[in-house]
Amino acid sequence: MAPLGATATATDARTVNGSDGAAVIDTLTRALTLILLAVAGVGVLGGVVLETHERIRDPGVHKALGTAPLQTVTLVLVSVVLPGLAGGAPGVPPGLAVHRAVMPAMGDSAGPPLPEVVLDVHRTP
């Protein structure tokens, strides 16, 4: 109960004890995610270019045999997507484990402990 004459103030749900730590960590996490996606996208693009360059004769042979352009593009995409999924799927569990280790450490260094809503972003289906 507030003493007589005290004023009440409303705070954002992400603000803890007057600290914007959760908002800062959200912003940092979003920025790091965008950087990671950009680096991964450039890596995939480089892999596609190298794969196509190494197999430059294959699209020519398929075209000579009468393959439609869409089928040629599908062949190239399948040759990249399947190895990408096979390589990316084993990386998901360690990525989740690293998230659970790094986020609390970031929160502890920023000030008060992070609320569970910030830490529990990956739910098991």
Question: What is the residue extent of each domain of the chain?
Answer: 21-112
pTM above 0.85, yes or no: no
* Other beta carbons within 10 Å of 26: 15
Give 5-17 as a DSSP string: TPPP----TT-BT
pLDDT by position in tens, the chain (length 125): 556 665 655 555 555 555 577 678 778 889 999 999 999 889 888 887 887 787 778 777 877 888 888 888 888 788 778 888 888 889 888 988 888 888 888 777 877 777 777 777 777 66
Rounded to 10 deg, the angle between the 92-110 and 21-54 helix axes is 150
Distance, in Å, from the CA atom of 22 to the CA atom of 114, rounded to the nearest integer, reads: 7
Give 17-71 as a DSSP string: TTB-HHHHHHHHHHHHHHHHHHHHHHHHHHHHHHHHHHTTHHHHHHHHTT--HHH
